[in-house]
Amino acid sequence: MSSTGRCYDNARMESFFATLKKEKLYQIHTEKMPMSQVKSIVFRYIMTYYNRERIYTANPGGLAPAMYRQAA
């Protein structure tokens, strides 16, 4: 974590949450679902798609984080 007055990780988290909302949550009607179901949807999105399949431009070759860690 960065110290007070340095917002380095804040920008990354805001970017992550914006991506989560655009790619998953705005496409389904979460306001009518129970909290446990929404948590399950978010967990599956992060663990299956975001970490294993999504293309990242920050990683060399555009590898997803799980693939990048395995290659290293």
- Residue 7: per-residue pLDDT: 65
pLDDT above 90 for 36: yes
pLDDT above 70 for 32: yes
Q: What is the mean pLDDT of residues 57-65?
A: 77
DSSP codes, 1-56: ---TT--HHHHHHHHHHHHHHHHTGGGTTGGGS-HHHHHHHHHHIIIIIITTTS--
Domain positions in the chain are 8-71
pLDDT above 90 for 50: no
